[in-house]
Structure 1
Amino acid sequence: MHDIDPGWAWSPVEESQQPWTRQLAAHLYRRAGFSATSETLDEAANKSAAEVVAELVDGRTESEEYLAQMKQLGRTVVATGNVENLPAWWMYRFLTTTDMLREKMTLFWHGHFATSGDKVTDPQLMVDQNELLRRNSLGNFGTLVAEISRNPAMLIYLDSVTNRKAHPNENFAREVMELFALGEGRYTEDDIRELSRCFTGWEIRNGRYRFNRYQHDSGRKSILGQEGPFDGDEGVAIVLDQPALPDFIIGKLYQFFIADEPAPPAELLAPLTIEFRENGLNIAPVLKRILSSQLFYSPHSVARKVRSPVEFSVGFLRALEGSTDQYALTSGLSELGQVPFFPPNVKGWDGGRTWINSSTLLARSNLIQSILKNKNTRFSNGTLSDLFDKHRLNSSQEIIDWLETMLLAVSLPETVRLQLQSKIDSGSGNREERLKEVVHLICGLPEYQLS
């Protein structure tokens, strides 16, 4: 990574010799969303990369009717009183939203500001936090941190509701510095203790944030080189003003959108960190630059990420115009290691290679198999045969070529391609079952695990 020129890396892809293709559009939608239908890729191929990225970043494409539907579904799930019903609700939104980048970033921030239903057992509080993340997902990072700091689900999860003047609780202050804004080694234990005093008196009443001035420590504090009688909002502002913050956040966005590893050098990220700070910590401009860059569409990025379980399953269904039982889908995700609303700890999901081991590989294969066998699964409201007929895919070669573009970030080995074509053409058994078997085999390949 040290030999990559930052000027080249973050310049627009249109300036390169690389033509904008349907395959590159598919790469964009896999990373900036959860894959796209064939029609969406056709439309994207007739535009420039910049135009498609602008639509993803700037467009609020969900209809008022859809938003009302999601609110009603949310109320229905909350009425059950069971947080374990929330993942299926969110999976439905992953599968149906037209505002893909916003939803992908909501998932990103959910891992960044990790809060779990295992501890926050009130589904309304978890839904409220989910909406907070979605509302701010492409907005201002400072606003996002300020709002998440007062969010009741976060206050409960990091024990800030027990933060009293006489006995400050350091959990939230530590995570604001270490996990939310600065990263390890960029603060001292004294900074944590002093920042925790700023948040004393922050509590919850009737499911809402409330400031209890009688439990607030109004004395002088010394935080990251600044001194004063800071309150919680002022403490957050001091953290947000630290020079290390842009490096930390841009590094996480790089890993999420470009490549799991290796970690990029500071020199490569410098143009983005400067832009992030100069834009007042606004998220959208830097995302637009990342998703339009030559680096994003280069071999340094394509197929350099392992699909998370949500990307693995939702991407499969969205690419093939699929729908299924969201509760069964969520149940399968637990075996793969990622259930939305239930991150494993305050650090969220580690991602990358940690998604893959002998157990999860088998579970991934089994999940696709269960989706294909589920009586509620539909592909373009029909069967796989109906889907292929809709796209006028007649020969086995046409089917495999199409599936390769829709599902894979890299080309199939020729021997594997021929074997898959032979299975379709074998004539043995029911054709629909042969097609399901071929799709299942593709999704079990190492190539499908990569994004």
Structure 2
Amino acid sequence: MRERSYSLAAPALAAALVAGVLAGCGAGASAPPAASTALPSPSSGQVNNTPAASGMTRFAAARVADQVSFGATPALVDALAQQGLNAWITAQMALPVTQMNPPAYVRDYDTNNQQQASAAYNWPANDLLDKALAGNDQLRQRVTWSLLQFIPVNGKVNPYAMVQYYNLLQRNAFGNYGTFIRELTINPAMAVFLDNASNRPTSDQCPSCAPNENYARELMQLFTLGVVQLNADGSVKRNAQNKPIETYSQEDVEQLAGALTGWRFAPSATPLPSTDWSNAAVPMVPEDWAPLHDRKAKTILGTPFAANRSAPQDLDAVVTLLMAHPNIGPFVSQRLIQNLVTSNPTPAYVGRVAAVFRNNGSGVAGDMKAVIRAILTDVEARRGDVPGADTTRFGKFREPMLWYTGMLRGLGCTKNLVSPQWGPLAANSQRPFNAASVFGFYLPTDRAPGSNLLAPEQKIVNAAEFTSRLGSIGWNIADGAANGAGCQTDALGQAYSQSPRALIDEINTRWFRGAMPPTLRTNLQLLATTQQFGNDANQAALVLTQYALTTPFYGIMK
């Protein structure tokens, strides 16, 4: 009965919220409910606009926290307000690289034992969530998550390979993008995921060998250049017939695949467990037998590749070619901007960041530290730090992962929730390492229904996701999933016991930057006084909190 006592209102509330959000985005004809009639806006008298010593207000600091972390906490907001954004970024980039260090069972488990296999496959996602919730290196973690959105791996690779892939992204999040491309290409997890480990040229010496184009194609299409040529600001180049100009041809894919042949998993001095057959912690090495690398002369994207070069020499030439291509700056910059700040950046914003990608001020291309700083400090990213100053086109849907972690960090949780029945929890629609394909959870070109605005995350913010947001976390906390996670739900219950207004003030401070819209305040007060959520103050407080966090006022990051 405990679960039912506060789930009675969930179906109706979920239906109203989904209708409201979709109508607001052009997908429905019905009018949204009162709580969804406007995008988030500060309410009179609630916003703390007093600048700290750094010149940053607490409202601005809380807003920045959404862009640089997995969710605002009082400590993070304090640090940002006191240090200022640039100094905080510098401090974050100086932190040591966090790496996953899995227990032995993640690498070596009995594939015929379902319990062991599940434990091994659950560990990487759960550890990623633990680091997202409590890691000090929030900016690196958030950039790593961004990279994982458009350069993913999934359950096609084994759990230990997932761990090593995450470690690769962490090491390169503040490195050089060219170095990252090279390391990505010889990473065992990626080689399994996109089959470059089986990419071999057909020859007289090896007639059974065959090229595999998967990695070569996705390297250009999804990781570096895109399918159409771009101007410096990310806008599409068109021919005289106003049709987009393709970036590469099928011949380019075939030639690039040939240049990327000739790599194998690194040998091991000791026997490898069957669940780490790719030796995932060690980069791939060139094949010993010369015919396994295509040594013919090639032409890729109009650039000649000389004959008789080794696999490492061809790989270096590929990286040089891709890093010199005019598409890579705007292509990568737009994806990072979308993942960190806003789904529909203006061409001017993309162009400014792409210029930094091309040249960090010292003649270096692909400097991720410079690119991330440019994204976060750009005038368009920071304009909304003054309440009401931003445009209606700015912002992004709070994707399931960021909603989940934002809620938990606001609750003070320092570890992920683990259900006694189901094991480690996560956002159902965006569980780490669980994207359906190489395209990730959504395409960066996905648009809001009935609109020309880019809104990729909306693809997975659907009715099932809203229903989950309204009830599942409260149920799991009530059933013991938060045991040992450090969550501070009692503070919400105590506030609710004092008065609904006190709880609303607490929610406003933790999740709404002190700027909860009056409409939402009124609706929460009405719910608190007209709905029965059971006799437990903590449970009732969680229901109202989840309702507030499921509305567009929190669900859209502005």
Question: Is TM-score (shorter-chain normalized) higher than 0.5?
Answer: yes
Q: After superposition, what is the alpha-carbon deviation per residue over 1:398-437, rounded to whole angstroms, capped at 9, x for unaligned? A: 4423322422379444243134346667998333233222
**Aligned pair partner of 1:123 in 159, 179, 183:** 159
Q: In the alignment, which residue of structure 2 is the partner of 1:84? A: 121
In the TM superposition, what is the alpha-carbon distance from 1:35 to its structure 2 partner? 1.2
Residues 198 and 217 of structure 1 are in contact (CA less than 8 Å); yes or no, is this contact kept in structure 2?
A: yes
Q: Deviations over 1:93-132 (max 9, x none)?
A: 2122110111111111112221112x11x22222111101
Give the Cα separation in 2 of the matches to 1:326 and 1:136.
Answer: 30
- Counterpart selection for 1:183 from 217, 222, 226: 226
Quote the Cα distance in structure 1 between the aligned partners of 2:394 and 2:553: 8
TM-score (normalizing by structure 2): 0.69
Tell which deviates more after alignment, 278-287 or 428-437: 428-437
Q: Indicate which of 242, 253, 269 corresponds to 2:350.
A: 269
d(CA) in 2 for partners of 1:433, 1:360:
20
1:435 to 529, 541, 544: 541
Which residue in the other structure is 1:401 paired with?
505
**Helix, strand or coil at the partner of 1:114:** coil
Match of 1:201 in 2: 262
- Equivalent-residue separation in structure 1 for 2:185 and 2:525 (angstroms): 54
Which letter maps to 1:307? Answer: R
* 1:210 matched residue in structure 2: 285
Among residues 348, 352, 365, which one is paired with 2:457 in the alignment?
352
1:3-402 pair list within 5 angstroms:
20-56=56-92, 58-60=93-95, 70-71=100-101, 73-80=102-109, 82=117, 84-85=121-122, 86-117=124-155, 119-120=156-157, 122-166=158-202, 167-185=210-228, 186-206=247-267, 207=279, 208=282, 209-212=284-287, 213-227=290-304, 228-229=306-307, 231-261=314-344, 264-265=346-347, 267-279=348-360, 280-297=365-382, 298=384, 299-300=390-391, 304-322=395-413, 323-326=415-418, 328=422, 330-331=424-425, 333-334=427-428, 337-350=429-442, 351-377=456-482, 381=486, 383-386=488-491, 396-402=500-506
Contact kept in structure 1, 2:416 and 2:424, CA below 8 Å = no
* Alpha-carbon contact 2:397-2:458 (below 8 Å) kept: yes
Partners of 1:405 and 1:138 in 2: how far apart?
32
Q: Deviations over 1:137-184 (max 9, x none)?
A: 111100111000000111111111111110221111111111111011
Contact 1:60 1:99 in 2 (8 A): yes
Cα deviations across residues 216-240 of structure 1 (Å, max 9, x unaligned)? 1111001112112352232232122
Can you list the C-alpha shifts for 1:339-380, whole angstroms capped at 9, x where unaligned? 111211111121421122222211222333234323242699
Structure 2, unpaired ranges of 5+: 1-53, 111-116, 203-209, 229-246, 268-278, 385-389, 443-455
What SS does the aligned partner of 2:265 have?
strand
Q: Are the structure 2 counterparts of residues 61 and 241 from structure 1 closer, same or farther at C-alpha, using a change threshold of 3 Å?
A: closer
Q: In structure 2, how many angstroms separate the alpha carbons of the residues matched to 1:383 and 1:33?
A: 20
Q: Which residue of the partner structure matches residue 10 of structure 2?
A: none
Match of 2:449 in 1: none
Q: What is the number of residues matched between the two proteins?
A: 420
Aligned-residue offset at 1:75: 4.0
Please say if residues 27 and 302 of structure 1, whose CA atoms lie closer than 8 Å, have aligned partners that are also in contact.
Answer: no
Contact 1:53–1:291 (Cα < 8 Å) also in 2: no
Compute the TM-score of the two structures, normalised by the length of structure 1.
0.84
Contact 2:72 2:511 (C-alpha < 8 Å) held by counterparts: no
Alpha carbons of 1:92 and 1:80: their partners in 2 closer, same or farther (altered >3 Å)? farther
Distance in 2 between the 1:382 and 1:172 partners? 42
Give the secondary structure class of the aligned counterpart of 2:381. Answer: coil
Using the TM superposition, give the Cα deviation of residue 308 of structure 1 relative to its aligned residue in structure 2, in angstroms.
1.6
Flag the 1:158–1:425 CA change in 2: closer, same or farther, 3 A.
same
The answer to whether the 8 Å contact 2:130/2:416 transfers is no
RMSD: 3.0
CA drift of 1:310 comes to: 1.2
The code of the aligned residue for 1:308 comes to E
- The 2-side partners of 1:74 and 1:409 are apart by 39
Query: What SS is found at the alignment partner of 1:46?
Result: helix
* Greater Cα shift, 102-111 or 74-83: 74-83
Deviation at 1:330, TM superposition (A): 4.8
For the residues of structure 2 that align with 1:398 and 1:29, how far apart are their CA atoms? Answer: 24
CA contact (8 A) 2:349 2:380 kept: no
Identify the residue that residue 5 of structure 1 maps to in structure 2: none
1:321·1:379 contact (CA, 8 Å) conserved in 2?
no
Aligned partners of 1:115, 1:379: CA distance in 2, in Å? 30
CA distance in 2, matches of 1:379, 1:21: 34
Q: In structure 2, how many angstroms separate the alpha carbons of the residues matched to 1:402 and 1:52?
A: 26
Partner amino acid, structure 1, of 2:319? V
Work out the CA distance in 2 between the residues paired with 1:247 and 1:382: 41
Contact 2:471/2:546 (<8 A) preserved: no
Which residue is equivalent to 2:275? none
Q: Is the 8 A contact 1:259 1:300 kept in 2?
A: no
Shift of 1:48: 2.4
CA contact (8 A) 1:443 1:449 kept: yes
Q: 1:20 to 1:433 in 2, by over 3 A?
A: same
Quote the Cα distance in structure 1 between the aligned partners of 2:374 and 2:172.
19
Contact 2:417 2:485 in 1 (8 A): no
Moved more, 76-85 or 101-110: 76-85
1:259/1:301 contact within 8 Å kept: no
Larger radius of gyration: 2
Letter in 2 for 1:216: H
